[in-house]
């Protein structure tokens, strides 16, 4: 039995996490997996009700679960996801970006992963604010950089074996340190390694995104470049992510809670893909092939739906509801699982 904690979140969060949970529940039962979902409220809404963005009871549920699926939270990101990354030492934030045939984009053939260091940099939260000043400490350690570089290396070895370290070494010595430590690790790996200033990386992502395979970057640059990368793929509604450490994982869409959007028309794919990454990670860490099969079935189903381009939410130029997209993905994933038999 696997226990999955679910943070429904704010805005469109409860609706998109609901679709992802339904898909996982249905597919898990088909391969004989027993999965229990435990709701762990966090975010703006629960903060308004209780005064706590991440109530103690929710934290307990998350820590006691095998993995957590998290919806977007509104203004309380710092108290929820940034806190969880620190508390559970989820040091690797893995964010894949791809273009699909049925989604209108300027570029085709884009396929890269941003590997974002997730516990250090300015997001460490070492800050001092007074009436006339505000200071945030930029923390980069050898330990933190070496372990995220190792993650980038491992991912590159499963892909096209190329890592681009993105930094700002010409201005900040902390980022020069990040670059140098990352280079030490990656040069031992027998893969192709290059480096780029973050400003140039932002430009190259817009004018030449197919050059990238794995981008390794500190926390804040990873946050910002992720939204840019999502824009290249047609919509931030397609970008899922994994926050993982040695034995814990929280999986979430890259997008925010979109409070102005009708939740019925929100794109659920980022959350559905995040659920697929969660099952893939759990399958590897628990050595359970059934989880990996469901994960792959979902990912392939998303790919088919987006390649066909017939059932798309308005962010992708379509007129379908999130529920129709979710059903189309579930049907294709069921087909994928049956075809394996």
List residues near ligand GGG by CB under 6 A: 77, 81-82, 223, 227, 254-256
Q: Return the DSSP state at 124.
A: G
Q: Which residues contact 96 (CB under 8 A, 6 or more apart)?
A: 112, 113, 240, 273
Task: Pick the closer one to ligand GGG by CB: 256 or 268.
Answer: 256
Task: Pick the closer one to ligand GGG by CB: 261 or 333.
Answer: 261
Q: How far is the CB of 269 from ligand GGG (least distance, A)?
A: 15
Residues recognised as catalytic: 123, 168, 199, 223, 227
- Residue 158's CB is within 10 A of a number of other CB atoms, namely 9
List C-alpha distances in Å: 289 to 119, 247, 260, 273, 303. Answer: 30, 18, 40, 18, 21
Which of 182, 230, 238, 187 is closest to 205 using CA atoms? 230
Q: How far is the CB of 73 from ligand GGG (least distance, A)?
A: 7
Task: Pick the closer one to ligand GGG by CB: 66 or 223.
Answer: 223
Q: How far is the CB of 256 from ligand GGG (least distance, A)?
A: 3
Q: How far is the CB of 260 from ligand GGG (least distance, A)?
A: 13
Q: How far is the CB of 259 from ligand GGG (least distance, A)?
A: 11
Which of 17, 28, 16, 13 is closest to 3 using CA atoms? 28
Task: Pick the closer one to ligand GGG by CB: 114 or 328.
Answer: 114
Residue nearest ligand GGG (C-beta atom): 256
Residue 54 structure tokens: 């991440």
Q: Which residues contact 223 (CB under 8 A, 6 or more apart)?
A: 116, 123
Q: Return the DSSP state at 80.
A: I
Task: Pick the closer one to ligand GGG by CB: 196 or 230.
Answer: 230
What is the rounded CA–CA span in Å between residue 14 and residue 233?
24
């Amino acid at each position: 039995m696997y226990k999955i904690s679910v943070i429904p979140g704010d805005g469109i969060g409860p609706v998109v996490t609901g679709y992802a949970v339904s898909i996982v529940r249905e597919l898990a039962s088909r391969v004989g997996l027993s999965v229990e979902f435990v709701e762990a409220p966090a975010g703006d809404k629960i903060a308004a009700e209780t005064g706590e963005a991440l109530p103690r009871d929710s934290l307990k549920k998350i820590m006691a679960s095998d993995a957590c699926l998290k919806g977007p939270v509104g203004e309380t990101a710092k108290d929820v996801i940034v806190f969880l990354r620190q508390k559970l030492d989820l040091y690797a934030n893995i964010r894949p970006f791809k273009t699909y045939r049925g989604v209108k984009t300027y570029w085709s053939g884009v396929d890269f992963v941003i590997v974002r260091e997730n516990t250090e940099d300015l997001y460490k939260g070492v800050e001092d604010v007074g009436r006339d000043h505000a200071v945030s400490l930029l923390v980069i350690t050898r330990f933190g950089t070496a372990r995220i570089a190792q993650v980038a290396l491992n991912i590159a070895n499963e892909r096209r074996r190329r890592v681009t370290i993105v930094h700002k070494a010409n201005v900040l010595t902390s980022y020069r340190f990040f670059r140098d430590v990352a280079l030490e690790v990656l040069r031992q790996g027998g893969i192709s390694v290059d480096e780029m200033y973050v400003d140039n990386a932002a430009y190259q992502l817009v004018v030449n995104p197919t050059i990238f395979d794995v981008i390794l970057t500190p926390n804040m640059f990873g946050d910002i470049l992720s939204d840019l990368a999502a824009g290249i793929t047609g919509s931030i509604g397609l970008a899922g992510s994994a926050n993982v450490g040695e034995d814990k994982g929280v999986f979430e869409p890259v997008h925010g809670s979109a409070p102005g959007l009708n939740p019925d028309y929100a794109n659920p794919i980022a959350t559905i893909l995040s659920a697929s990454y969660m099952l893939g990670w759990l399958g590897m860490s628990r050595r359970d092939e059934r989880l990996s099969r469901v994960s792959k079935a979902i990912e392939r189903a998303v790919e088919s739906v987006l390649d066909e381009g017939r059932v798309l939410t308005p962010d992708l130029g379509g007129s379908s509801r999130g529920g129709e997209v979710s059903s189309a993905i579930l049907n294709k994933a069921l087909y994928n699982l049956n075809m394996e038999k």
